[in-house]
Amino acid sequence: MEQEELSGLFEFMDSLLDDPTWAQMYPQPCSDTPWPGLQCEVGQQTPQTFHVTKIHIGPDVIKPPCKSSANLSLSLLNLPYLKTLSLFNCFTSSPLSLSPSLFGPFSLLEHLSLQSNPSLSGEIPQTLAEIKSLRVLTLSQNNLQGEIPKNTFGGLVHLEQLDLSSNNLIGSIPEEIGFLKSLKILDLSWNGLNGQIPSSLGQLQLLQKIDLRSNKLQGLVPPNLGKLSRLVLLDLSHNLLTGPISEALSGLGQLEYFMIQENPINSEIPRFLESLNRLVVLSFSGCGLRGKLSNTLSSLKNLTALSLDNNVLNGTIPPNLGTLANLDQLNLSHNQFSGELKFSEEFIVRLGKRLDVRGNSGVCLNQEAYKDKKDISTYLEIAPCLGTSAINNNSGTWSKEHNPGDCNSLTPFWDHDRKSSSTLVRLEDHQKLGLLFFVVGFINLFLSL
């Protein structure tokens, strides 16, 4: 390795790691004394020379740890062949901001990830726009502030993953993000972003994941999103979006995860949902949905979780929902449903407390149709229908046999507080609900290192 590059590496690692002897322990880090967080490649010069191409500090490389006064030294500029820089949970004590002069000169950098650094604050530098080779940019779970720079990302035509989630960003989402033609993953969740979702996102034909949850976004869901034929995950939950939702979203033929709960949609259930036959998770909880729940959702044969609770839906609960063989969680609680609940005994037994129909005062159960389950009406917390009676038996009751637990724990896995976890999306029920595409974020990040 050239002496200037080696000296720059030693100085940069000294600014990060809590080990003043690192340079003495790894004097030839590309050959004789390798370090697990470092990778090198042989250059094309003659004679052949090693160059540092990757620096990684994360859960798999924890020794030595970052020191409390860790910072990003400008000696990084002496590593011009660097392709990957990923630092996890490194800046935790001393306040640090991203210097505008730190990244511009890197012509080869493809992967920049600064994640889970609570003392990393300040604004996103516009000089990131000069790193034209970037494919992955992850600045998630830090303490970054200010607006997303409008002239920063539009020119990054090779960018495949943009993750700015879990910061304190404000302002609107720049229309220029719609110029990122290679983008596959967009995660801006858990910020304070406002304004409307830019319709330019509909131009990103390679997008597979959009996560904008937990912001302050307003207005309608852009109909142009219906052009995203490869989209697998769309999470718009916990915003201020209104309805109705355009039928143009019927073009989302690959969509598997659609979460839009806790938005004032205030319309009927969109009819296009029945055409999204790949849906696995669908959540419209707390959206002010009104009208009747038709039988059409029973055509979604891949559905494992359906949440329509805390709306004003009325009419009867379609019994055909009980024919969905893969359905493992159904929450219809706190609506205005009425009439007899006609789910099969097998369906009720299979879901247990993951079936929630509480808070619908007009719904009743014909206890006589479930003779083998003596207290099923009490278990589901709904009244028996007129002309029937709830049968109680002190021995062998259904609730005792199934030990159902606390029904208040029915909060969907995708709706837990993400800031309590270091992953991008909390997945506690992997087998039941499938591999959520962006457990990704975090896993994709390591695969691309």
What local confidence, expressed as pLDDT, does residue 278 receive?
97
What whole-number distance in Å separates Cα of residue 394 and Cα of residue 351?
A: 23
What local confidence, expressed as pLDDT, does residue 44 receive?
74
What local confidence, expressed as pLDDT, does residue 368 receive?
78
pTM for the predicted model, two decimal places: 0.86
What local confidence, expressed as pLDDT, does residue 407 receive?
40
SS3 for 109? coil
Task: Please report the DSSP string for 217-271 in residue order.
Answer: EEEPPPGGGGG-TT--EEE--SSEE-SPPPGGGGG-TT--EEE--SS---SBPPG
What local confidence, expressed as pLDDT, does residue 403 receive?
42
What local confidence, expressed as pLDDT, does residue 372 receive?
66
CA nearest to 102, candidates 84, 123, 127, 82: 127
Contact, 131 vs 104, CB < 8 A?
yes
Per DSSP, what are the bridge partners of residue 111?
84, 136
What whole-number distance in Å separates Cα of residue 286 and Cα of residue 409?
A: 17
The structure tokens listed for 299 are 């055509």
Per DSSP, what are the bridge partners of residue 235?
211, 259
What local confidence, expressed as pLDDT, does residue 423 receive?
33
CA nearest to 124, candidates 163, 88, 175: 163
What local confidence, expressed as pLDDT, does residue 431 receive?
35
SS3 for 8? helix
SS3 for 200? helix
198-210 per-position pLDDT tens digit? 999 999 999 999 9
**H helix or E strand, kind and range, residue 292:** strand 290-292
The structure tokens listed for 291 are 């009208």
What is the C-alpha radius of gyration for the chain, rounded to an integer number of angstroms? Answer: 26
What whole-number distance in Å separates Cα of residue 233 and Cα of residue 252?
A: 10
What whole-number distance in Å separates Cα of residue 214 and Cα of residue 344?
A: 37
Per DSSP, what are the bridge partners of residue 138?
113, 163
Among all chains, which residue has been given the structure tokens 């007129």? Answer: 386
What whole-number distance in Å separates Cα of residue 201 and Cα of residue 176?
A: 9
- Domain residue spans of the chain: 310-406, 413-438
What local confidence, expressed as pLDDT, does residue 171 receive?
97
Q: Is the peptide bond before 118 cis (omega within 30 degrees of 0)?
A: no
- Written as one letter, the residue type at 234 is L
Could you write out the three-class secondary structure of 46-105?
Answer: CCCCEEEEEEEEECCECCCCECCCCCCCHHHHHCCCCCEEEEECCCCCCCEECCCCCCCC
The structure tokens listed for 420 are 């309590």
Contact, 145 vs 171, CB < 8 A?
no
Among all chains, which residue has been given the structure tokens 């002190």? Answer: 394
CA distances from 432 to 91, 312, 425 (A): 36, 28, 16
177: left (phi over 0), alpha (psi -120 to 50) or beta: alpha
Side by side, the strands of the sheet bearing 240-241 are: 194-196, 216-219, 240-241
227-286 per-position pLDDT tens digit? 999 999 999 999 999 999 999 999 999 999 999 999 999 999 999 999 999 999 999 999
pLDDT < 70 positions in the chain: 45-46, 62, 105, 371-374, 387-449
